[in-house]
Amino acid sequence: MAEHPQTLVVFHAHPDDEALLTAGTMAAAAARGHRVVLVVATDGALGLADESAHGAKGDALAATRSRELAASAAALGVARTVRLGYADSGSGPEVFPDPPGGRRFVRVPVDEAARALATVLLEESADVLTTYDPAGGYGHRDHVRVHEVGARAAELAREQGRDVRVLWATVPRELIGRGIDLAMKVYRFPPDFDRSSFDTAYSPRSRITHRVPVRRHARAKRAAMRAHASQASGGEGDRTLGVLSRLPWPLFGLVLGREWFVEPGAERTGHPATDVFEVAT
């Protein structure tokens, strides 16, 4: 291999988030001989599932989603998958009580979860860590938490002498707006749907420091998405919004060709970098 192999650690909230936001970047890095490590915070047991097909709830859904995650990781060339094992905090108005024997991710102190992630960063001699933008994309509480935990874990690794660059996996906000408008033409949205809530989601295009072309890895990305079969359909009506906010399938067409990152603190002067191992200039 021509280049010095590096280690990319991608940190995600739920099984399936890797497929939408970073799958192409992961597959591209693995194909070039870099080490790709996937860390997932929660079991995804509050995810939407097509119950008629899977009949899965709670523990059963967690087991299904864990298998789906393994299949997705295999499709992307992931060398190691780490499940931090916290319970899904859900996206409803209230956080449910902790399940028996578990703790919901948002109830785990940031420092505690960050120590678990920092351990992986140090074991792996990570070069780059991907997390989420401060908005947590569309604001799911577990995604906001990934941002916070990721930032703290990088600090802890630095204290141990390991400098890990942090990149926020995101999508240009303007593109999300277009996707929502498209989806509104196709799906019935609940009457209280607030289009303007997406005005502050993800990141403005002007802040993007990395735009990674991933079309060559679209097949792997699609395979990763398909691996998460339990999340592919979720009924109609209000649940459509659930599907859309949790995993915006209508946006697939828009995200298959590129993935986007913001490197905080990096002042971009020219075009975005096209490789996560490069610093934007």
Residue 235 backbone zone (phi > 0: left; psi -120 to 50: alpha; other: beta): left
State the nearest-atom distance from the C-beta of 248 to Zn ion, in Å.
Answer: 11
State the nearest-atom distance from the C-beta of 271 to Zn ion, in Å.
Answer: 29
Choose the stretch contacting Zn ion; rule: CB under 5 A; options: 16-24, 79-87, 131-139, 166-174: 16-24
Contact by Cβ (8 Å): 227, 71: yes
Task: Tell which one of 8, 10, 15, 17 touches Zn ion (CB under 5 A).
Answer: 17
State the nearest-atom distance from the C-beta of 146 to Zn ion, in Å.
Answer: 8
CA-to-CA distance for 202 and 136, rounded, in angstroms? 7
56-115 positions binding Zn ion, by CB under 5 A? none
| C-alpha of 55 from chain center | 25
CA-to-CA distance for 82 and 118, rounded, in angstroms? 12
Task: Tell which one of 8, 9, 10, 13 touches Zn ion (CB under 5 A).
Answer: 13
Among residues 210 and 228, whose Cβ is nearest to Zn ion?
228
CA-to-CA distance for 20 and 17, rounded, in angstroms? 6
Choose the stretch contacting Zn ion; rule: CB under 5 A; options: 5-13, 116-124, 147-155, 261-269: 5-13
Among residues 43 and 127, whose Cβ is nearest to Zn ion?
43
Residue number closest to Zn ion, CB atom: 14
State the nearest-atom distance from the C-beta of 22 to Zn ion, in Å.
Answer: 12
Provide the Cα torsion 246, 241, 62, 23; round to 10°: -30
Among residues 17 and 133, whose Cβ is nearest to Zn ion?
17
45's tokens: 């047991």
Among residues 7 and 230, whose Cβ is nearest to Zn ion?
230
Edge-to-edge strand list for the sheet holding 165-170: 80-86, 35-42, 7-12, 128-132, 165-170, 258-262, 210-213
Q: Which residue has the tokens 């990088």?
A: 154
Choose the stretch contacting Zn ion; rule: CB under 5 A; options: 13-21, 128-136, 171-179, 231-239: 13-21
End-to-end CA distance of the chain: 25
CA-to-CA distance for 267 and 270, rounded, in angstroms? 9
161, burial (CB in 10 Å: exposed 0-12, middle 13-18, buried 19+) = exposed
Q: Does 145 bind Zn ion (CB under 5 A)?
A: no
Choose the stretch contacting Zn ion; rule: CB under 5 A; options: 3-11, 15-23, 83-91, 218-226: 15-23
Choose the stretch contacting Zn ion; rule: CB under 5 A; options: 7-15, 29-37, 68-76, 231-239: 7-15
Among residues 14 and 34, whose Cβ is nearest to Zn ion?
14
Among residues 40 and 166, whose Cβ is nearest to Zn ion?
40
Among residues 140 and 258, whose Cβ is nearest to Zn ion?
140
CA-to-CA distance for 152 and 173, rounded, in angstroms? 25
State the nearest-atom distance from the C-beta of 165 to Zn ion, in Å.
Answer: 23
Task: Tell which one of 10, 14, 88, 173 touches Zn ion (CB under 5 A).
Answer: 14
Which parts of this chain interact with Zn ion (CB under 5 A)?
13-14, 17
